[in-house]
Chains A and B, each alone.
Chain A
Amino acid sequence: MLEIRNLTASIGGNRVLNGVNLTVERGEVHAIMGPNGSGKSTLSNVLAGHPQYIVESGEAVLDGEDLLALPAEERARAGVFLCFQHPVEVPGVRLDQFLRAGYNAIHKSKGLEELDPLQFDRLLQGKAGIVNMEPSMLKRSVNDGFSGGEKKRNEILQMAMLEPRLSILDEPDSGLDVDSLRLVADGINQLRSPDRSVILITHYQRILNLVVPDVVNVLMGGRIVRTGGVELAEEIETEGYEGQDEVLQAQG
């Protein structure tokens, strides 16, 4: 279970998160919706431990462990996975080698068996089918020349390989055509299980028809301003974000 309390953080001298409170129970899928610039990616990066983001106050605890005290790789090994909004290219590094390096690092930290290239390949080939990834893509450099959709599917494949306890998906739906969106949604749904939590960040309600969330949160001005069920997502779809933050104030 993840508990975020009063989280305040800044980037490049800008205070972006202004006291985020959020509790995600085990097995839940939480949607976080919010307009551009509301701090969605900042929240994702802060939780994953990006060194450029500065936490000013507050806490984030995953199953009793203080996440904010750990370096990024330790958080990954503790089961935090970030599906990047804009995954970076790593020229010359083959996707399968990149994935195996991460997989083995996590397994090693848990005292689990590391896989040799052959064993890993077999596992990877199996998972690649989930997002309809051509085997030839696995031999290409990480994200190098990938289309927008391929990048997102690649992120989902990585999540499927690492089987994280907490997945933070930062707009996995942005820029996708209908087919890719369905593959991505299927990938997320396959990972859903009673002992995994998902934070699904999105700008649009569209993906929430395919991955039905347990809870919908609205992030505005660096705060969670509203929390509700799927009906909240529908409301935003028809009425937009305007005024959502005032609803909170009205509620007192």
Chain B
Amino acid sequence: MVSPDSLAQAEYKYGFVTDIEEETAPRGLTEDTIRWISAKKQEPEFMLEWRLRAFRHFLTLVEKEQSPKWANVHYPPINFADGVYYAAPKKDRPESLEDVDKELLDTYEKLGIPLEEQKRLAGVAVDAVFDSVSVATTFKETLSKQGIIFGSFNEAVQEHPELVRKYLGSVVPYTDNFYAALNSAVFSDGSFCYIPKGVRCPLELSTYFRINAAEAGQFERTLIIAEEGSYVSYLEGCSAPMRDTNQLHAAVVELVAMDNAEIKYSTIQNWYPGDENGVGGIYNFVTKRGKCAGNNSKISWTQVETGSAITWKYPSVLLQGDNSIGEFYSVALTRGYQQADTGTKMVHLGKNTRSKIISKGISAGHGQNTYRGLVKVMPRASDARNFTQCDSLLIGDQCGAHTSPYVEVQNSSAHLEHEAFTSRVSEEQLFYCQQRGMSAEDANSLIINGFCKEVFQQLPFEFAVEATRLLEVSLEGSVG
């Protein structure tokens, strides 16, 4: 029998498992685990030290039971001592793409991210992360000709330790929060990207994160540095197999933009959301922050969040340079029993800084969607401006939308604007579309896409198409 609830739960198309031999860290979380991971990666001493400092800090937080409690999400306590903190395909990362395991190539192809030369998306360089490690990076040579460094975090640690050392933790210190501390201690890989002075990155850079192993959590770090006058557009995608246990994904992303530099960071998040009864799915507890370190710099976050059982993330911008700009565009969809508590922090430090927040929450089924945002204007930040708009769309009457916008202003010249709307897909709109011949489903997806338009148009074209399709698939059967 089909219940209305299961209707609000569309098929998850990325739920397959790749059959590949993986090596995992011994179960548990002690200093030995940290040393094991660091040794596995043959890391320089400074990395191990940093991890251990983070781990010791993490232990004090565990002791004080300081995992975040303020978010509007509910889940049973996680037993951190019982987790598996590293999993990677047994074979080492091959030198060239041709030597990547067929199972892995097939996996990414199935996910719509072909890595092989002849099938690749034009104009997009991809770093493929499988569980704890990066397994392949495309277009590396093309990029390195312009001095752009793009590849796995591990490689960067080996080949550019001075850059890693300088910037690691400079935007999100391990003391920032519980999950940032945990990530700093156990993170295994991720993407690293460095754009030299004056270079406009000719390709979209993209990382695709795939969780495969059954028990391991995924803890990756991304670090992007845009030197003076440079530009980069970066995109992150993710998915995971369907399993009935919850898996933890606790990533940290740090962005640094120097004078006149611009970083555009887009995410299409499609982690497994759990089944129609709310069993299984990924806990997505992520810390993302950018620092507009230079004058006239710009950092723009765009996110389309359709997956995960629980999403907890606040991509933020520290507007340190004068005239710097921070933007946050978000579509968060919750259906089934998904919970999302997401938003942003815009911290105005420099003069004449501007920020813009456009948040679109869509709730269906029993989904709960919370926008949580903070706009903070520091004393030195004269003439700061913020525009915030958070809209919610409800589908059905079992779901919920909540907004918690916070404002802290310490400079009276600040100018802040806030708009918020909650709406339902109205019967009048549906009827109007159907009167023109559209089916109820098509009408719904048209209206919902319209609702998300300001966010989707921020995405690079191919990904806007992907996001539209993903939303359609996710909402299949939840309306009409």
Contact = CB atoms under 8 A, between A and B. Distances in A.
Contact of B436 (A50, A51, A98, A109): A98
Contacts of A75: 435
A88 B438 contact: no
A171 to B, nearest CB: 16
Contacts of B25: none
Interface stretch (A89-97, A119-127, A185-193, A198-206): A89-97
Interface stretch (B133-141, B227-235, B320-328, B425-433): B425-433
Contacts of A88: 426, 428-429, 432
B452 interface: yes
Contacts of A49: 434-435
B449 A101 contact: no
B440 A73 contact: yes
Interface string B13-47: 00000000000000000000000000000000000
Contacts of A52: 427
Contact of B431 (A51, A141, A158): A51
A240 to B, nearest CB: 32
Interface residues of B, number: 23
B436 A92 contact: no
Nearest to B451: A92
- Most chain A beta-carbon contacts within 10 A, residue among B434, B435, B446: B435
A175 interface: no
Contacts of B449: 92-93
B437 interface: yes
Interface in A31-88: 48-52, 71-73, 75-77, 81-82, 84, 87-88
Given A92-B450, A93-B449, A50 B431 contact: yes
B250 to A, nearest CB: 34
A17 interface: no
A169 interface: no
A73 B450 contact: no
Interface of B: 426-429, 431-440, 442, 446-447, 449-454
22 contacts: A51-B427, A51-B431, A52-B427, A71-B434, A73-B435, A73-B437, A73-B439, A77-B437, A90-B432, A92-B450, A92-B452, A92-B454, A93-B450, A93-B453, A97-B446, A98-B433, A101-B438, A101-B442, A102-B433, A105-B439, A105-B442, A106-B437
